[in-house]
Amino acid sequence: MTTASLPAPAPRRAPGFFEALAPGGRRMLFLLAMVAVCLLFAFPVLWLGLTSLRPGYAVFYVHRGTDFTLENFHEVLGQQVVLKAMWNSFAISTLATILSLGVTVTSGYMLSRFKGPIPNTWFSLIYVFRCVPYVSWVLPLYFVTRALGIFDTYWGLLLPHVAVHVCFFSWIMKGFFDGIDPSMEYAAMIDGCSRWGAFWRVAMPAAIPGLTALAILCWLYTWNEFLFALILTAHETPILTVVMAQFVHELGMEWHLMSATAVLSLGPALLVTVFGQKYVIRGLKV
Amino acid sequence: MSSPTATRRPFLGLDEKKRFMLALIAPAVFALVFFQIVPIFTGANASFRDWALHDPKRTWVGLKNYLYVLRDPEFLFVVLPNTFGFMAASVGCSLGLGLALALLLNRKFRGRWLVQTVILLPLMVAPVIAAIMIRWMFNDQFGIVNVVLDLFGLAPVAWLTQRWTAFLAILITDVWLWTPWFTLLLLAGLQSLPPEPFEAAQIDAATPWRVFRHITLPMLRPVMVVCIVIRSIDAFRTFDIVWTISGGGPARATEVFSIYAYVEAFQFLNFGRGSAAAVIGAFIIVFFAMGLYRILNRWVEVSK
């Protein structure tokens, strides 16, 4: 180690056994821990990427050999069902984001700005229904959407998704509006603005950063969602996550194609991680 | 807020403010009622009927389905222990690791943004994809995990064909997926703590461990409580990673509650029985969540 030349961190206490043994060793240890953390969290994704670049004959020995190819991506993108599933996932995620945010922004505003029996009832309802396991209502939703004639269509997946988001997002939206000082809205109302005007022209613009964060997360949640897509869609509306899971069960051996599909579907997640980081971190804070 | 327009005529006996409140939540209520509450009641109705392929009349059978599920040894001795064991192990591990990471990241150092970007990654990855990656890495013949074991001279393990190793793979996936979430929330909590107690501790020359134990931990408790409650509820209903990694197998040994209900309804095509299981699970988790919230809340108040 060349740590001898590094300045030791200013000692606040008498140097312990460890510092006496290796000056600067704590920093080294810290650095090593950080590298290990990065490796642990990035490795599965890197491994998947590597697998997706291997030709079919070499995929079982990913760690050996240096044949790399883009043929897997080409083959996957040639499959009609994958293309269709990508488009469907994209459309559903986008529509669900717009609808969910539209529905929950007013609900969160109401929870944040008012007190009394109505907000209290609504809040407890949201809390209870947030706890109900998805499987308890997605099984009967299968029959409800069939009865409504929207099973295996966009609407049949979209509306349940909005219902999924109602509870959680109202809660987060309430947090966003709690962080915005309501005095501006009172001022606007004294100046003759209606309640709707105060909400729309004063509170909404202030909530835009929070809304952006939530929009990104909502889009990704829907893009990544599996259970609802599995039960509420069939051949007419294939969804990407379901198509991938079927790859595992039906063509269990074609790991190179599966990885390529998975890498393609990771695209948006990677983009968001790199470019939308600050928004996402804001949105995740409960 | 005082009502500025008292001149409008009342609607259903509600004043202007109440009407505004109801209008704000109306769309959300609509979505919640039609696509969550109505299905829940449909499911509850189905759970009292013989709603299966062989009985198109859907005969009312009372509590038969409930009794079946509550007497099913698979449900009692495999599914419930799996579900709660998974919940405890997953929340415990991710909380511990998340807290450790948050403490490490709660300082300024070069390359911090890189670490933060990397740990954000699992939060963006679809659970299905994470499960696929783990399944591939833990493949018994070609998986990298067995290759590494081989390097160290250890015998390969058939990870996904034995109950506990398959369970371990599922648990690792879940911890990988959710540790970053704990880290981010706890890091935000750490950064919002007031500096005065830490300065006082420094003047008193307290050891780092005692600072952590007596200052950081108690002040972080409110954040931790929220994290634990939310994550426990979500861990209870885990479906996608279990389904993709083991499918509940081998021989239904890693089934958790959501898988059980799904398998009963859509593979054994006994919809009444699946619904009964789903209703039982819903009751368990709602009461569990309320109890957990109360216990942890009391714990926070005592620590103040």
Q: Where are the domains of chain B?
A: 1-47, 64-303
Using CB atoms, pick whichever of A132, A170, A281 lies closest to residue B28. Answer: A170
Backbone region of residue A46 per phi and psi (left: phi > 0; alpha: psi in -120 to 50; beta: other values): alpha
φ, ψ for residue B43 (rounded to 5)? -65, -40
Q: What is the pLDDT of residue B112?
A: 82
Q: Do A118 and B22 touch (CB under 8 A)?
A: yes
**pLDDT band at residue B4 using 50, 70 and 90 as cut-offs:** very low
Please state the length of chain A: 286
Chain B residues 29-48 with a CB less than 8 Å from chain A? 29, 31-32, 34-40, 42-43, 46
Are A222 and A278 in the same domain? Answer: yes
Are A264 and A213 in the same domain? Answer: yes
CATH 3.30.450.20 describes domain B64-303: no
Q: Do A140 and B275 touch (CB under 8 A)?
A: yes
- The pLDDT of B21-37, averaged and rounded, is 90
Q: Any idea which residue has 């300045």 for tokens?
A: A7
A36 touches chain B (CB under 8 A): no
- For chains A and B, count residue pairs whose Cβ atoms are closer than 8 Å: 262
Chain B residues 222-261 with a CB less than 8 Å from chain A? 226-227, 230, 233, 236-237, 239-240, 243-244, 247, 257-258, 261
Are A127 and A36 in the same domain? Answer: no
Using CB atoms, pick whichever of A47, A245, A255 lies closest to residue B244. Answer: A245
A220 touches chain B (CB under 8 A): yes
> CB neighbours (10 Å) of residue A8?
14
Closest CA to A40 of B301, B179, B70: B179
For residues B257 and A133, the answer to whether their CB atoms sit within 8 Å is yes
Closest CA to A180 of A204, A213, A212: A204
Tokens for A100? 């969910």
Are A138 and A227 in the same domain? Answer: yes
Q: What is the pLDDT of residue A249?
A: 61
Are A49 and A89 in the same domain? Answer: no
Are A83 and A63 in the same domain? Answer: no
Chain B residues 112-171 with a CB less than 8 Å from chain A? 114-130, 132-137, 141-142, 144, 147
Q: What is the pLDDT of residue B9?
A: 53
- Rounded CA-CA distance A45/B286 in Å is 35
Q: Residue A40 is part of which domain span?
A: 16-72
A62 touches chain B (CB under 8 A): yes
Of A121-130, B36-45, B54-63, minimum mean pLDDT range: B54-63
Q: Which residue of B has its CA nearest to A138?
A: B39
Closest CA to A197 of A183, A186, A181: A186
Please indicate, yes or no, if residue A103 is contained in any of the structural domains: yes
**Alpha helices in chain B, H assignment, sequence order:** 16-32, 38-47, 64-71, 73, 80-105, 112-124, 127-137, 144-151, 163-191, 196-203, 208-211, 217-236, 240-245, 257-262, 271-303
Q: How far does the CA of residue B302 sit from the closest CA of chain A (Å)?
A: 23
Q: Which residue of A has its CA nearest to B292?
A: A131
**pLDDT band at residue B10 using 50, 70 and 90 as cut-offs:** low
**Residue A206: which CATH number?**
1.10.3720.10
Tokens for A273? 């991680």
A170 touches chain B (CB under 8 A): yes
Please indicate, yes or no, if residue A8 is contained in any of the structural domains: no
Tokens for A285? 């804070």
3-state helix vs strand vs coil in chain A, percent to 5: 75, 0, 25
Q: How far does the CA of residue B83 sit from the closest CA of chain A (Å)?
A: 12
Are A174 and A263 in the same domain? Answer: yes
Distances, alpha carbon B250 to alpha carbons A227, B74, B142, B165, B255, in Å: 21, 13, 19, 11, 9
Q: What is the dihedral of CA A217, A222, A227, A233, to 10 degrees?
A: 180
Q: Do B237 and A44 touch (CB under 8 A)?
A: no
Q: Which residue of B has its CA nearest to A260?
A: B129
Q: Which residue of B has its CA nearest to A252?
A: B136
Which residues lie below 8 Å from residue A90, measured CB to CB, with a gap of 6+?
A: A223
Please indicate, yes or no, if residue A5 is contained in any of the structural domains: no
For residues A118 and B21, the answer to whether their CB atoms sit within 8 Å is yes
Q: What is the pLDDT of residue B1?
A: 44
- Rounded CA-CA distance B189/B22 in Å is 34
- Rounded CA-CA distance A135/B278 in Å is 6
Q: What is the pLDDT of residue B304?
A: 46
Of A20-24, A256-260, B139-143, B155-159, minimum mean pLDDT range: A20-24
Q: Which amino acid is at B300?
A: V
- Rounded CA-CA distance A62/A55 in Å is 10
Go through A148-158 and write b for each residue having 16 or more CB atoms within 10 A of its CB, e for each that does not.
eebbeebebbb
**pLDDT band at residue B2 using 50, 70 and 90 as cut-offs:** very low
Q: What is the pLDDT of residue B5?
A: 46
Q: Which amino acid is at B122?
A: P
**Dihedral of alpha carbons B4, B9, B14, B18, sign:** negative
Residues of A in contact with B278 (CB under 8 A): 133, 135-137, 139
B184 touches chain A (CB under 8 A): yes
Q: What is the pLDDT of residue A124?
A: 86
- The pLDDT of B131-136, averaged and rounded, is 86
- Rounded CA-CA distance B11/A209 in Å is 36
Q: Any idea which residue has 């103040």 for tokens?
A: B304
Share of chain B above pLDDT 70, in %: 93
Please indicate, yes or no, if residue A31 is contained in any of the structural domains: yes
Task: Count the domains in chain A.
Answer: 2
For residues B178 and B101, the answer to whether their CB atoms sit within 8 Å is no
DSSP A16: -
Residues of A in contact with B281 (CB under 8 A): 133, 135-136
Q: For residues B198 and A281, which has the higher predicted lDDT (pLDDT)?
A: B198
Q: Which amino acid is at B127?
A: P
Which residue, of A72, A96, A112, is where some domain finishes? A72
Q: Which residue of A has its CA nearest to B129?
A: A262
For residues B170 and B281, the answer to whether their CB atoms sit within 8 Å is no
Please indicate, yes or no, if residue A142 is contained in any of the structural domains: yes
What are the pLDDT tens digits along chain A (286 aa)? 444 455 545 445 555 665 666 667 778 888 888 888 888 898 988 888 888 888 877 777 767 777 788 888 888 888 888 899 999 999 999 999 999 999 999 999 999 888 888 898 998 888 888 888 888 888 888 888 888 888 888 888 899 999 888 988 888 888 888 888 888 888 888 888 888 888 888 888 888 888 888 888 889 889 999 889 988 888 888 888 888 887 766 555 678 888 888 898 888 888 887 887 777 777 766 5
Please indicate, yes or no, if residue A6 is contained in any of the structural domains: no
Please indicate, yes or no, if residue A120 is contained in any of the structural domains: yes
B217 touches chain A (CB under 8 A): no
Are A56 and A137 in the same domain? Answer: no
Are A192 and A224 in the same domain? Answer: yes
For residues A219 and A93, the answer to whether their CB atoms sit within 8 Å is yes
Q: Which residue of A has its CA nearest to B273?
A: A139
Q: How far does the CA of residue B24 sit from the closest CA of chain A (Å)?
A: 5
- Rounded CA-CA distance A176/B189 in Å is 16
Are A203 and A179 in the same domain? Answer: yes
Rg (C-alpha) for chain A, rounded Å, is: 25
Closest CA to B185 of B216, B215, B218, B228: B228
Which residues lie below 8 Å from residue A80, measured CB to CB, with a gap of 6+?
A: none
For residues A277 and B184, the answer to whether their CB atoms sit within 8 Å is no
Which residue, of A25, A47, A72, is where some domain finishes? A72
Q: SS3 of A14, please?
A: coil
Q: Any idea which residue has 């009172």 for tokens?
A: A186
Picking from B24, B112, B203, B242 by the largest number of A CB atoms within 10 A of its own CB, the best residue to mutate is B24
Picking from B65, B97, B136 by the largest number of A CB atoms within 10 A of its own CB, the best residue to mutate is B136
Q: SS3 of B206, please?
A: coil
Are A178 and A120 in the same domain? Answer: yes
Backbone region of residue B167 per phi and psi (left: phi > 0; alpha: psi in -120 to 50; beta: other values): alpha
- Rounded CA-CA distance A246/A240 in Å is 10
pLDDT tens digits along B211-270: 888 888 888 888 888 888 889 988 998 998 998 888 877 888 888 999 999 998 888 888
Q: What is the pLDDT of residue B179?
A: 92
Q: What is the pLDDT of residue B123?
A: 85
**pLDDT band at residue B198 using 50, 70 and 90 as cut-offs:** confident
pLDDT tens digits along B69-115: 888 888 889 899 999 999 999 999 999 999 999 988 888 888 888 88
Please indicate, yes or no, if residue A4 is contained in any of the structural domains: no
Q: Do A132 and B185 touch (CB under 8 A)?
A: no
